[in-house]
Structure 1
Amino acid sequence: MTTTFNARRTRLGAAVAGTILMTAHTMALAEPVTLDLELRCPFPLIGEQPIQARITADYPAEITASEGVPAITVDTITVVNEPSRQGLSLLGAVTVTGTAQSFTTISTTARDIESTVDLTVEPSPVPSTPGEFEVAAGGVADPVALTDGDVGPGQVTVDDLILSLRNLRADGTLAGMPVGEFTTDCEVVAGQDNVLASFDIVDGGPGGGGDPANVAVDVEAVDFGNVQLGLSEQRSVTVTNDGGGILAINGVTVSGANADAFIQTNDCTTLASAESCTIDVTFAAGSEGAQAAVLSIETDDPDSGVVTVDLSGNGQLEPEADIEVSDDELGFGAIDLGVTSDRTLTINNVGSAALNISDVSLQTGGDFSVLSNDCSTVAPASSCAVGLRFTGNAVGASSDVLTITSDDPDEAAVTVDLSGQVNDDDTGGSTLDIKLDVDGSTTLTSTGNTLPLTGVIDSVVDLATGMLTAELHLDPTSGTFQVSKWFRKLTATAEVEFENVGEATGTLINGKLTTSAQAYVKVPRVTVNLFGLKLPIGGGAECRTAEPVSFTVASPDGETFLPLGGGTVTGSYDLTALENCGALTSVLSNFLEGDDNTINLTLTPVQP
């Protein structure tokens, strides 16, 4: 299963993400340059974690505009913290692998140039013992073209990272979900110096200074596809001056055998360095069949005075449907035996007539099944969805082929390859048993008294979903309160016990623990100290709240609960009146009964 966290400026799958980010942000220095950055990276199960990354690279101190920024090899080292190591280890990951895309910005006096670097995570072992570990990554940044208009000071800054990780077990299969395979973003912590390198961009070199302007277009050809007779389609061509001087655009014309079918309008006159203009081209299908023309852009660029763009389109007497699927291959990731993984395939109609889908079926239908299918007739520019499920019936890899049959005249049948993997239970399960010591207190709103709370929680966490069940065992406690009876004020001590009603349930997702439980609050004995003697005045085996009390606690905002590290939880609850406590039942109820009682607990894992 692939988990996607889509939040471009925040996320990453553990420290590894940081390493990649740093790696992607290096572009070459004549003298080695090092940048240390802190990132905030979300990690499945344990939530957002701080990651330290170091980027090293060699950048030329001086770059000639005509030569541009060369291709640069980037290397980084990221320190993965202990909570992130725990998150990987919990599901049997022993090796970290993957890829990443790093986003940087090259800033000149004239513009900001966005750059993307593809990186590869070197296979890195996950230690079995507690502590930080390092992950390395590397890649090559593509060359970046500059113009004379960029001359002056320049710099490279680190912006963002998208990481795709595949974390493997010892036998080479994917670790358990959700850490086995996932994609996530990582954010550079604000307030840091994120400048990787600074340099000077100078004139000179072949073409430098002598070519004041240079024309460039964003496409070499425009294909309008099928257009019904009597209708039209519009596309745009962008013209840019990537030279250093003023570019004069002297004319824009359409010529060729079917020039009358293509109409252009534009706002192009003169362009300063790095400026652009737009030419809108409309294809009006006046006759049936293929039609072609040439768009010519005449400028004063001494090297390329005229730039051409090929135009083509096809006039259709009758509209046609055109099927397009969201994925040619659909992976369901790695799951455990008996577990299911669901995906959705989107079918689009990009044609001009209604698309009629006659069949959606699987080749074998063994481990894969069609959950839902709302696809029958799909209007132009509309879509429908097919729900698919992969079930872990047997250990090992599994595949199938989904076939979609329609009245698309060009593609009567479209196929989608499906794949998934079922983990061996012997290589690590999808649940984690956690035993936690409880230490904290609860404060009663009725009297303001605070009662200490201790005990143990035995919990089982489904690491794939974050769902948990638990047995809560709170130790007996006691509290004091003032009681007026027989014309004098006495201090009473009430013993308090908890009788569970069913299991506690909750979730542990992205480092936030939320748990709910129900229990009767019992008061087996209440005594007063009179003349040095502890005299019983109430309570009993059946003295308890009339209804079970519902307790809900959760990790405070901004705090992370770690499966093997513990954390704090807080919450509030309402206490109902007591019953079956003897003659002083109403008095004892006043001691407990009330709303919005607070509870604060520290949960610490019990080491095996």
Structure 2
Amino acid sequence: MRTKKTTGGACAALAVAGAMVAASLAGVAGAPPAAAAPATLGLDYHCTFPLLGPQPVHVELSTDVPDHVAVGEVMPGFTVDSVSTVNAESARGLTALYATSLEGHALADATLTVPEMPDGLPVEVDSVLEKTPIPASGGFTVKGRGTSPDLTFTQAGPGKVTVGNLVLKLTPRTDDGGESGLGTFESECTQDPGQNNVLASFDIVGETGQPAEYTYALTGSSTIKASGGTIPLTGALDAKLDAGTVTAALTLEPSKAQFQLLGFLPVTADVAFTAQGGTTGTYKDGVLTTTTKVATGFPAFNAFGAIPIGGGDTCRTSEPSSITLTSAAGFDRDAGGELKGAYELASVTGCGVLTGVLGDALTGPDNAITVALTPKKTS
């Protein structure tokens, strides 16, 4: 019965605690309400309870997160909600100890990272857990709500809020207002590793609305599905981000592809890339998406690395490939990260007498591509 009691109480308290820390920090993303977009975050924790040791707990946060704020502008606070469901077993455990309500405090850790605080500012928020009635049977939900403070920023650039660990101080109470069998107890909640814990990502733009700029070195590779060949990729991406809209210039260095012609003949292809029309995309809810049209040329094909079998100045795909790359959630614009996608290579022309055979080994859909963006240092 004590097991069920503490687990249910912790789950309820965690939801409110998470909401309050999110609410108190979410003001860094403040902006006029019309610019806000819904965002949600789910996090798993293990909380250490009396007699039980670590127990799993899950919390869901939801808020309207603006895409950008302006330097020097006072941003009004907005609301963050949380909902946690306590199951029927936990409710029965609480009522078995004559508990009819739950209350307490939650001390939540979070980190605010913005240009004037690039190493992050640790923040602790002590939140009051709203008194919640426990039903005689069945599960119940605990809702939390908080409003962020007004904040102002002095430097343009990216910002984010991450939610960390929790310390809960809980008191289940009986119908007459007294404490139940467990009294008041404290529980430390550690966030499970490997999760995206970014509640809000946003841009701080200059007073005149100038976009934030990022410069990345690019490395990666592409797999040619038709022949199983690989193309190493190196280059650069110079990006500008304005209110969640990305415009960029992509540069890809010449490369060499290795593949099998006719299934047995080893061939090395010189590959030249030309980005056409620039790169466009979005950065929303921590996900970076870019789209670029790239024309691909093949200056030379060599069998066994030495015997010319085609290529030249006119050897290229008949039309550019549209390559869309997408990051996982939680992409950090300051630290860079990995993007993945797939694209189609159009038929090749102008490669000599073996154009058709070479094209069969190269062209077609579903060619996988993975790239890593690493920030370049600027002087």
TM-score bin (small chain): 0.5 to 0.7
Aligned to 1:523: 298
* Residue 435 (1) aligns with residue 215 (2): yes
Work out which structure has the larger RCO, using CA pairs closer than 8 Å and 6 or more positions apart in sequence. Answer: 2
TM-score normalised by L of structure 2? 0.59
Which residue does the alignment assign to 2:340? 570
C-alpha separation in 1, matches of 2:326 and 2:132: 49
> Which of the residues 489, 508, 520 maps onto 2:283?
508
Once the two structures are TM-superposed, the CA of residue 102 in structure 1 deviates from its matched residue by 7.8
Change (3 A) 1:426 1:475: closer
The answer for the alignment partner of 2:255 in structure 1 is 477
8 A contact 2:318–2:346 mirrored in 1: yes
Partner of 2:22: 17
Which residue of the partner structure matches residue 246 of structure 2? Answer: 468
Q: Kindly indicate whether residue 224 of structure 2 is the aligned counterpart of residue 444 of structure 1.
A: yes
Aligned-residue identity in percent: 30
Q: Any conservation in 1 of the 2:254–2:270 contact (CA below 8 Å)? A: yes
The 3-state SS of whatever aligns with 2:148 is: strand
How far apart are the structure 2 equivalents of 1:188 and 1:541?
56
**Given the alignment, which residue of 297, 316, 330 partners 1:544?**
316
Query: For the structure 1 residues 17 and 580, does the alpha-carbon distance in structure 2 shift closer, same or farther, using more than 3 Å as the test?
Result: same
The residue aligned with 1:169 is: 152
Pair 1:100–1:590, CA change in 2 (3 A) = closer
SS in 2 for 1:588: helix
The reply to whether residue 456 of structure 1 matches residue 228 of structure 2 is no
**Displacement after TM superposition at 1:49 (Å):** 8.6
- Tell me the C-alpha RMSD between the 2 structures: 5.4
Inter-partner Cα distance in structure 2 for 1:426 and 1:204:
54
Give the structure 1 partner of residue 108 of structure 2. Answer: none
Cα shift readout 1:144-163 (whole Å, capped 9, x = no counterpart): 999xx99xxxxxx9945334
Distance in 2 separating the partners of 1:435 and 1:554: 17
By how many angstroms is 1:460 displaced? Answer: 1.0
- Match among 147, 166, 170 for residue 197 of structure 1: 170
How many Å apart are 1:587 and its aligned residue? 2.2
Who is 1:58 aligned against?
none
Show the counterpart of 2:360: 590
> Secondary structure of the equivalent of 1:542?
coil
Deviation, 1:546, is: 0.6
1:133 correspondence with 2:133: no
Q: Deviations over 1:511-565 (max 9, x none)?
A: 11111111111001122348xxx34321111210011111111124xx4211112
**Shift in CA distance, 137/546, structure 1 to aligned 2, threshold 3 Å:** same
Letter in 2 for 1:473: T
Match of 2:327 in 1: 555
How far apart, in 2, do the equivalents of 1:482 and 1:145 lie? Answer: 70
Contact 1:91–1:430, Cα closer than 8 Å, also in 2: no
Distance in 2 between residues matched to 1:562 and 1:519, nearest whole Å: 25
1:79-124 alpha-carbon deviations (Å, 9 max, x no partner): xxxxxxxx9999658999857778899965567558899xxxxxx9
| Structure 1 pair 202–467 and aligned structure 2 pair: CA distance change class (3 A) | closer
User: Which residue is 1:228 aligned to?
Assistant: none
Aligned partners of 1:456 and 1:473 also within 8 Å: yes
Aligned equivalents of 2:337, 2:38: Cα separation in 1: 14
Distance verdict in 2 for CA 1:477–1:458, change over 3 Å: same
Residues 471 and 503 of structure 1 are in contact (CA less than 8 Å); yes or no, is this contact kept in structure 2? yes
Listed as ranges, the gaps of 5+ residues in structure 1 are: 1-8, 22-42, 55-86, 118-123, 151-156, 206-335, 337-422
State the structure with more CA Rg: 1
Q: 1:94 to 1:481 in 2, by over 3 A?
A: same
In structure 2, the residue corresponding to 1:590 is in which secondary structure?
A: helix
For residue 162 of structure 1, what is the amino acid of its counterpart? R
How many residues of Structure 1 are paired with residues of Structure 2 in the alignment? 295
Letter in 2 for 1:128: E
Change (3 A) 1:539 1:112: farther
- TM value normalised by structure 1: 0.39
The runs of 5 or more residues in structure 2 that have no matched partner are 1-13, 27-35, 48-65, 106-111, 179-202
Would the alpha carbon gap of residues 504 and 140 (structure 1) be closer, same or farther in structure 2, given more than 3 Å must change? Answer: closer
Q: Matches of residues 173-192 of structure 1 in structure 2 within 5 Å?
A: none
For 2:99 and 2:177, the matched residues in 1 are separated by 20
